[in-house]
């Protein structure tokens, strides 16, 4: 298949989470951004932000399709539904 190069973070990527079921993947970075992409086209779908570096991000389908990520500096998990 065709490969895509993704260069959307300003600092080191700390986490990549792939969900084949949802056809999505997310990248988390020390720049405080979590980017969500279409798994097959690598198109950036949505960006979530934190005021501090993000060390891990996940995608989940239950109870709602969501992206959650951890800010070690704030000692907090942030969770957002994918559709808004």
Measure CA of the first residue to CA of the last residue in the chain; give whole Å.
Answer: 31
- 47-61 per-position pLDDT tens digit: 999 989 999 999 999
The answer, yes or no, to whether residue 12 has pLDDT greater than 90, is yes
CA atoms 13, 19, 20, 24: torsion sign? negative
Cα 80–chain centre separation: 11
**Is this structure's pTM higher than 0.85?**
yes
The answer, yes or no, to whether residue 1 has pLDDT greater than 60, is no
């Amino acid at each position: 298949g065709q490969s895509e190069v993704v260069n959307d973070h300003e600092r080191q990527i700390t986490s990549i989470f792939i969900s084949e079921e949802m056809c999505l993947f997310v990248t988390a970075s020390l720049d405080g951004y979590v980017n969500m992409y279409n798994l097959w086209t690598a198109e950036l779908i949505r960006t979530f932000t934190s005021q501090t570096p993000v060390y891990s991000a996940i995608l989940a389908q239950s109870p709602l399709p969501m992206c959650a990520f951890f800010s070690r500096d704030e000692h907090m998990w942030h969770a957002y539904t994918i559709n808004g």
